[in-house]
């Protein structure tokens, strides 16, 4: 069975893809010799996902799925956006505490998580799939809309999950993994690529 390598060093993302792509055999970057970090200098999530997918496909020889994601906050002119991982040095907690600081006394708390997925190393085919083929990659984007909380809550998930609340007022970090996947930016971006994986890898047998 062909493997799809997930182009990330983030164990949380890999776990999420294992749940979101049942039936696809996923490989992790730890199964390959180390590679130079990819310079993520594109202006948007799609561009960075494409850069990572192409680099990892060429390094491993396998079809490669890369995810570039982040948090866009309306009152901060969509920051931190593509800089979400580099918004502050240190840990995820350091980054979300900095964001809460910037949002102090800010009444507009609207925000969204964005996720762009690019898959390199699969053929382009003529199809009516709902996703696009660009620069040698299948590309899909998903969003999850919510609000920035006043304080962190919850211990599940990762990244900015403890300060991002969804419809029922719970933060993403208070949801179960299955609840997060049903509404998350990553879950939304994954749905349209399942058909592509099913037909081009010929191995998909799960459901979502
Ligand atoms: P990337 O690894 O360059 O895509 O950076 C993603 C940034 O957005 C990191 O700071 C992550 O912690 C954050 N991020 C991405 N996806 C999620 C998520 O599902 N929940 C919370 N934070 C996320």
Instruction: Identify the structural domains of the chain with CATH numbers, from first to last.
Output: 3-201 (3.90.950.10)
Q: Which residues line ligand 1 (CB under 6 A)?
A: 10, 68-70, 84-85, 92, 113, 157-161, 172, 184, 186
Residue 205: predicted pLDDT: 35
pLDDT for residue 196 is more than 90: no
Question: Which residue has the least CA distance to atom 22 on ligand 1?
Answer: 159
Distance, CA of 32 to CA of 144 (rounded, Å): 32
Q: How far is the CA of 137 from the centre of ligand 1 (A)?
A: 21
Helix or strand or coil: residue 120? strand
pLDDT for residue 9 is more than 80: yes
pLDDT for residue 208 is more than 60: no
Q: How far is the CA of 149 from the centre of ligand 1 (A)?
A: 17
pLDDT tens column, 46-78: 999 999 999 999 999 999 999 999 999 999 999
What token pair was written down for 62?
A: 């396998």
pLDDT tens column, 107-118: 999 999 999 999
Poorest-pLDDT segment among 6-10, 12-16, 130-134, 178-182 = 130-134
Closest atom of ligand 1 to 95 CA is: 10
Count of CB atoms situated within 10 Å of the CB of 104? 7
Residue 110: predicted pLDDT: 98
Q: Which residues are tagged catalytic?
A: 68
pLDDT for residue 149 is more than 70: yes
Distance, CA of 31 to CA of 192 (rounded, Å): 27
Query: Confidence band (pLDDT; 50, 70, 90) for 11?
Result: very high
Residue 1: predicted pLDDT: 60
**Close Cβ partners of 166 (under 8 Å, ≥ 6 residues apart):** 144, 146, 172, 175, 183
Tokens 């850069």, residue located: 51
pLDDT tens column, 122-141: 988 766 566 899 999 999 99
Residue 204: predicted pLDDT: 36
Q: How far is the CA of 1 from the centre of ligand 1 (A)?
A: 30
Cβ(177)–Cβ(106) under 8 Å?
no
Poorest-pLDDT segment among 9-13, 102-106, 201-205 = 201-205
pLDDT for residue 206 is more than 60: no
Helix or strand or coil: residue 62? coil
In the Cβ-directed half-sphere of 96, how many Cα atoms lie within 13 Å? 19
Distance, CA of 72 to CA of 12 (rounded, Å): 20
pTM: 0.94
């Amino acid at each position: 069975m062909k493997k799809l390598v997930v182009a990330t060093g983030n164990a949380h993302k890999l776990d999420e893809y294992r749940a979101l792509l049942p039936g696809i055999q996923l490989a992790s970057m730890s199964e390959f010799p180390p590679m130079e970090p990819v310079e993520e200098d594109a202006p948007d999530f799609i561009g960075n996902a494409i850069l990572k997918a192409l680099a990892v496909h060429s390094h491993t020889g396998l079809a490669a799925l890369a995810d570039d994601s982040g948090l866009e906050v309306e009152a901060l002119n969509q920051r931190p956006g593509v800089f979400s991982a580099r918004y502050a040095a240190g840990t995820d907690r350091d980054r979300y505490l900095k964001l809460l600081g910037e949002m102090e006394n800010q009444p507009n708390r609207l925000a969204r998580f964005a996720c762009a997925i690019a898959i390199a190393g699969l053929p382009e085919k003529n199809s009516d799939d709902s996703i696009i083929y660009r620069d040698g990659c299948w590309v899909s984007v998903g969003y999850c809309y919510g609000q920035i909380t006043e304080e962190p809550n919850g211990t599940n998930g990762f990244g900015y999950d403890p300060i991002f609340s969804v419809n029922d007022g719970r933060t993403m970090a208070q949801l179960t993994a299955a609840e997060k996947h049903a509404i998350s930016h990553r879950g939304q971006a994954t749905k349209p690529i399942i058909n592509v994986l099913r037909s081009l890898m010929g191995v998909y047998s799960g459901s979502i």
